[in-house]
Structure 1
Amino acid sequence: MFGRWRSRQRVVKLVLVVALLLVALSSFLTVAFRDSPNSPLSPIPLVPKAAQEQAVCDSPPACFNYIFTTFGGKNGKDERTLDVYTSADGIHFTPYVMGAYKPENSLLRDPSIILHDDGWYYVVHTTSWDGNDFALIKSKDLKTWDHVVTIKIKLTDEDLKVADDKPRVAQSWAPEFFRDPQTNKIHIIISLRHFEMKTNFAPYIFTATSRDLKFWTPGNPLNVTGLTPADSYIDMFIIYDGSDKATPYHGFMKNEVEKHIEHLAAASVEGPWQFVQKGDFAGWGTKEGPAVVEKPGGGWRMWADDYHGHVKYADSDDLWNWTKMVDMPDGVSSKVRHGTILRQDRKGTLLPQ
């Protein structure tokens, strides 16, 4: 009796050993087969979530999380064509369409993009090194662009009655869109040098008076405390920070004398604006053409031109403390120039700009 029990125990142990060996062999074969390049069980390459979402989006250009309108062409020197880059993460940008638009009789520099509530993308751009106007174009698909209007700059209501052959503005550079989330008004901030007064550059504000953006108020000097005719500032870029209850409007513009980007703040877009960080406060050295976007997870990202076609970017949690500026990857930094980045959600919904 005892002998039969011992015999059965040995059989059970043998069965268990064989079962374990079969399980191990099965696991080994599955892994080997799965890892074979031609196996249907080969693992799917890991793709960032944003890239996966972008891949399945069926209504471009709303698929793109970031749209960068710039100029420069393949060699970074073309000043007459609009280039459009797109990105899923705001860091890695790839060309979407190069040479998307070329004006017939003007330059195209410093293009600033906005997504209007009429469903069209609008770009405003510099038209010349010396002149008294700026131009707007629009597109539905970021590929085909149409001229909307060229605005001859007027600085007062009386100017509207003056013939266009008597300009009061000698130079008009780097127009930037800003939609005020408090009023939903669309503004353009542009750097002007006054012809009659022989002043240096200063920021002026224009406000759209028609939904199709064909008509604008006369330009008014942006109210910047302490700014004198001896000062010279260009490339004013405004963003809205709702978490800052006292001064939710923040601006970054380049001191054209010292060649540094400086920081301003205000309670309203009209001002008065106060300098809150001057000089080379972030340690970036010479930079121009700042463009700032609020990141989806919080914080901010700024891109700026390092002169002669070399755009870099830096990050901040609070608009006051910034990281070191680094190159845009994949060689993009050397191909693009001063432009603007638009962040949108996957359905193209308007976001603060």
Structure 2
Amino acid sequence: MKRLFGILLITLLLSACSKEVYMFSSFHEPATDGLRFLYSENGYQWKDLNHVFLKPNVGTQKVMRDPSIVQGSDGTFHLVWTSSWKGDKGFGYASSKDLIHWSEQKMIPVMEHEPTTVNVWAPELFYDDETKQFVIIWASCIPFRFPKALEAEDNNHRMYYTTTKDFNNFSPTKLLIDPNFSVIDAVIVKRKAKDYVLVLKDNTRPNRNIKVAFGESAIGPFTNVSAPFTKNFTEGPSVEKVGKDWLIYYDSYQDKTYGSMKTADFKTFTEVSAQTSVPEGHKHGTIFKVKKRILKAIQQEIQSKK
């Protein structure tokens, strides 16, 4: 009986240690402080860790906007972010094993080959388990490159991408999608093999809303752009899977609120903003899962500094 009880106890302890929680990378305006995190047990109610984990020191303006994080197969967390509103030809990068201690920051110069590039906005990380590489996508504006609608030439964006296995060597930058309108804030979602969704912001006037497109690989081509499923003046989609559904969080920046939509198929969307709660001040980031022990270590680190 004692042996059986011991086995049961070990099983329960291992189960508790392997339990995962949701993390949401974040920043606060004016984006000079640095990386923040929210966390959630259920993906609907979020709590703020109320701590800055990495202060930006690269780029023209040395800000940290739109922090995107993904964990590699070796357990390393990789972070990319917007380092300046304008002037940079790349974005910031750092890595960590525990989300507490970070490597030296560096710039990844993905648009140096395009000297008239205005900006590099909202880099987003995706690990492609089919090709065993990281895909990084971002929005850039190259004036007079594409037909424009009502946008000024320095605000007519398209989405670009590069791939890497080690964050030292990168494939040549390529166009990810030109949907015939200014597009920013895109996120890659994999549903199954050869079934990918690109959640994106139509940044043209008067739209400023969120749509989806579909492709057979993480680098597209993405086609069949949908009608918008959010109201105007929404941006910064972040996507997570909870059970059988996908939740899409977004910044309703005119209302100064955070909204959320639920979908099972990326065709029919139900607003669930009343069921979710996001702390005030949170801005555009990435949702990912971590072992609960990672969160506990972070909380202990924060407590030790008080």
TM-score in terms of structure 1 length: 0.68
1:135 counterpart = 2:85: no
**Deviation, structure 1 residue 323:** 1.2
Asked whether the 8 Å contact 1:293–1:343 carries over to 2, the reply is no
Q: How far apart are the structure 2 equivalents of 1:298 and 1:330?
A: 20
Residue 152 of structure 1 is matched in structure 2 by 109
Q: How far apart are the structure 2 equivalents of 1:251 and 1:267?
A: 11
1:267 counterpart = 2:182: no
TM-score in terms of structure 2 length: 0.78
Relative to structure 1, the CA distance from residue 180 to residue 259 in structure 2 (aligned partners, 3 Å threshold; closer, same or farther) is same
1:177 counterpart = 2:125: yes
Asked whether the 8 Å contact 1:149–1:214 carries over to 2, the reply is no
Secondary structure of the equivalent of 1:275?
Answer: coil
Q: How far apart are the structure 2 equivalents of 1:185 and 1:307?
A: 33
1:99 to 25, 32, 52: 52
Unaligned runs of 5+ in 1: 1-52, 160-165, 349-353
For 1:140, the aligned partner's letter is K
Residue 175 of structure 2 is matched in structure 1 by 221
1:314 counterpart = 2:275: no
1:85 counterpart = 2:33: no
- Equivalence map 1:230-241=2 (5 Å): 231-241=181-191
**Deviation, structure 1 residue 329:** 5.1
**Deviation, structure 1 residue 346:** 5.6
For 1:241, the aligned partner's letter is R
Residue 49 of structure 1 is matched in structure 2 by none
1:120 to 53, 56, 76: 76
1:255 counterpart = 2:202: yes
Matched positions, count: 267
Asked whether the 8 Å contact 2:215–2:222 carries over to 1, the reply is yes
Relative to structure 1, the CA distance from residue 67 to residue 276 in structure 2 (aligned partners, 3 Å threshold; closer, same or farther) is same
1:343 counterpart = 2:289: yes
Asked whether the 8 Å contact 1:168–1:196 carries over to 2, the reply is no
Asked whether the 8 Å contact 1:311–1:328 carries over to 2, the reply is no
Asked whether the 8 Å contact 2:24–2:286 carries over to 1, the reply is yes
1:167 to 97, 115, 119: 115
Q: How far apart are the structure 2 equivalents of 1:119 and 1:64?
A: 14
Relative to structure 1, the CA distance from residue 168 to residue 325 in structure 2 (aligned partners, 3 Å threshold; closer, same or farther) is farther
Secondary structure of the equivalent of 1:81?
Answer: coil
Asked whether the 8 Å contact 2:46–2:278 carries over to 1, the reply is no
Asked whether the 8 Å contact 2:24–2:37 carries over to 1, the reply is yes
RMSD: 2.7
Measured against aligned partners, the alpha-carbon deviations of 1:192-226 in whole angstroms (never above 9, x if no partner) come to 11157457100001101x42x122222101144xx
Relative to structure 1, the CA distance from residue 283 to residue 306 in structure 2 (aligned partners, 3 Å threshold; closer, same or farther) is closer
Asked whether the 8 Å contact 1:69–1:82 carries over to 2, the reply is yes
**Deviation, structure 1 residue 57:** 4.7
Asked whether the 8 Å contact 1:310–1:335 carries over to 2, the reply is no
Asked whether the 8 Å contact 2:44–2:277 carries over to 1, the reply is no
Residue 110 of structure 1 is matched in structure 2 by 66
Percent sequence identity over aligned pairs: 25
Unaligned runs of 5+ in 2: 1-11, 146-152, 295-306
1:191 counterpart = 2:144: no
Secondary structure of the equivalent of 2:27?
Answer: strand
Deviating above 3 A after TM superposition, structure 1's stretches of 4 or more consecutive aligned residues are 76-80, 195-199, 327-331, 344-348
Relative to structure 1, the CA distance from residue 149 to residue 214 in structure 2 (aligned partners, 3 Å threshold; closer, same or farther) is farther
**Deviation, structure 1 residue 240:** 0.8
Relative to structure 1, the CA distance from residue 327 to residue 133 in structure 2 (aligned partners, 3 Å threshold; closer, same or farther) is farther
For 1:239, the aligned partner's letter is V
**Deviation, structure 1 residue 339:** 0.7
For 1:101, the aligned partner's letter is L
Asked whether the 8 Å contact 2:26–2:37 carries over to 1, the reply is yes
Residue 299 of structure 1 is matched in structure 2 by 245
Q: How far apart are the structure 2 equivalents of 1:310 and 1:202?
A: 26
Q: How far apart are the structure 2 equivalents of 1:64 and 1:98?
A: 21
**Deviation, structure 1 residue 259:** 0.3
Secondary structure of the equivalent of 1:128?
Answer: coil
Asked whether the 8 Å contact 2:237–2:250 carries over to 1, the reply is yes
- Equivalence map 1:52-67=2 (5 Å): 57=16, 64-67=20-23
Q: How far apart are the structure 1 equivalents of 2:80 and 2:274?
A: 26
Which of the pair has more CA radius of gyration? 1
